[in-house]
Amino acid sequence: VEEGASADVFRAPHHPYTVGLLRCLPQRARSKDTERLDTIAGSPPPLGAAMRGCAYAERCRLVEERCRQVAPPPHRFNAPNGVQMARCHRHEEAHALPRERGASDDDRAHRVEAPPGVRDRSPVLRAASVSKTFVRNGQTVRAVDDVSITLAAGETLGLVGESGSGKTTLAKLIVGLIAPDPGAMIELDGKALPSRVQRRDDNQVKSLQIVFQNPDAALNRAHSVKHLIGRALSKLAALRGTAHDARLASLVDAVRLPRRYLGSRTRQLSGGLKQRVAIARAFAGDPRIVVCDEPTSSLDVSVQAAILNLLVDLQRARGVSYVFISHDLNVVRYVSDRIAVLYVGRLVEIGAARDVFDGPHHPYTEALLSAVPSLPGDPSAARIPRVRLYGEPPSAAARPSGCVFQTRCPRKLGAICEQQDPPFADAGNGHLIRCHIPVSELRLARHELQGA
């Protein structure tokens, strides 16, 4: 439906579908507290469906009668970097595409304010001194090392770090899929949680749910979508009859899962459809906390935007809290109130999302943020030079002495980093950075990098 040089298509798209896709992206300047993500209504028609006119007509906000009757030809025009093509009758008006109904400026401003009953910021979850050691092939692997976090009602804590940093292991420890090392404490509403989910009562299981990164491992491939979600509704929400069916319908609609898939087995679904089933199942029992482990990694950007909006809406309406894990830092920034940065199982930085993203940073966080891609023409993208890290993270079975990051740190001070584990330094507003470099120098380095 559109073709051209990448810079031209990203800076000046001329098809409503392209415009819609780009608006779905949570870019750097966006957060759940400033605006609601735009989405694309409906879903693509089934493969092989007979249709007249434009294939996108039923989802397009610029649609007119000729769109439904006459297939648009490929309109070609000159762009700064070559010839651009858009197959749309109204390609010259695509930039003025109206936002989705309910996503106007007035509506977004209204949605920013949480309901009074959801403003309680008392801790609903507390994990203190959590560690996990595995023994593999005779080697001791410290996957999570003395991590402490809190989560307030209606808050999202984003967990970020490279693959192997311990994010998923920490998630499994919180929900009780694996037991922590002795000395750890995990509490729900100030009461200790049993270390294993099998020992937790029904209310504790219902209150604390997880959306796994890989839906194939979380869903029984032999069961239908209706059975998988329906069983969760029966077990966790104790729903029966018409209430059960109504809640099932509302869940699949909320995650943008076409109802025609209810009778399908999960082995018949794409990865994105499976993930929507997993998300719907996690919310079946009205949980208080949901651990989201890469919940949108297999979703296209239009469904991702719908899911992120759903998570925010549920949070504001019901006070749901999230531990949100993702490698997409723009997504993390959009949904998170606070950010925790892990490196080889160690917590190296934690604080309010704005403070962590705007700096000062731990040198590792600085490198992660410098690698976040931005779209051509994005005015919110800061022109910060890339901070390159060389080598691989050390093995959790052979952790370096001193600072765990010292083998790759571009700001390494010397022997103190090699010999002493740094304490947390307070950068203000509860923003903690585990580094030997004084906060004042980290702040100055941030300003110098921005001006480079």
Residue 118 has a pLDDT of 44
Token duo for residue 338: 């606070």
Could you give the CA distance from residue 293 to residue 166 in angstroms, rounded to a whole number? 12
Q: What is the DSSP letter of 224?
A: B
Token duo for residue 72: 């648009």
3-state secondary structure of 329: helix
pLDDT mean over 433-442: 96
Burial class (CB in 10 A: 0-12, 13-18, 19+), 78: exposed
Residue 121 has a pLDDT of 67
Counted residue by residue, the chain has a size of: 452
Question: Is the pLDDT at 155 greater than 80, yes or no?
Answer: yes
What percent of the chain stands above pLDDT 90?
67
Residue 353 has a pLDDT of 95
pLDDT mean over 47-71: 92
Domains, the chain, ordered by start: 2-113 (no CATH), 117-336 (3.40.50.300), 340-376+383-450 (no CATH)
For residue 194, what are the CA distances in angstroms to 11, 35, 307?
53, 39, 31
Residue 112 has a pLDDT of 38
Q: What are the backbone angles phi and psi of residue 194, rounded to the nearest 5°?
A: -55, 145
Residue 379 has a pLDDT of 61
Least confident of 106-120, 392-406, 430-444: 106-120
Instruction: Tell me the DSSP string of 30-55.
Output: --TTT-PPP---S-PPPTT----S-T
SS (H, E, C) 55-90: CCHHHCCCCCHHHHHCCCCCEEEEECCEEEEECCCC
Query: Residue 172 in contact with residue 214, Cβ under 8 Å?
Result: no
Query: Residue 228 in contact with residue 277, Cβ under 8 Å?
Result: yes
The alpha carbon of 433 is separated from its chain's Cα centroid by a whole number of angstroms, namely 23
pLDDT mean over 355-376: 90
Chain segment 21-50, per-residue pLDDT in tens: 999 998 777 789 888 899 998 878 877 888
Q: Tell me the CB-side half-sphere exposure of residue 282, using CA atoms within 13 A.
A: 31
3-state secondary structure of 348: strand
Smallest CA-to-CA distance from 323 within 299, 306, 340, 304 is with 340
Could you give the CA distance from residue 299 to residue 20 in angstroms, rounded to a whole number? 15
Token duo for residue 200: 């937790």
Query: Residue 86 in contact with residue 10, Cβ under 8 Å?
Result: no
Q: Which residue has the higher pLDDT, 273 or 107?
A: 273
Could you give the CA distance from residue 385 to residue 445 in angstroms, rounded to a whole number? 12
Question: Is the pLDDT at 116 greater than 80, yes or no?
Answer: no
What lies within 8 Å, CB to CB, of 60 at 6+ separation is 16, 17, 54, 67
The alpha carbon of 54 is separated from its chain's Cα centroid by a whole number of angstroms, namely 33
Residue 451 has a pLDDT of 64
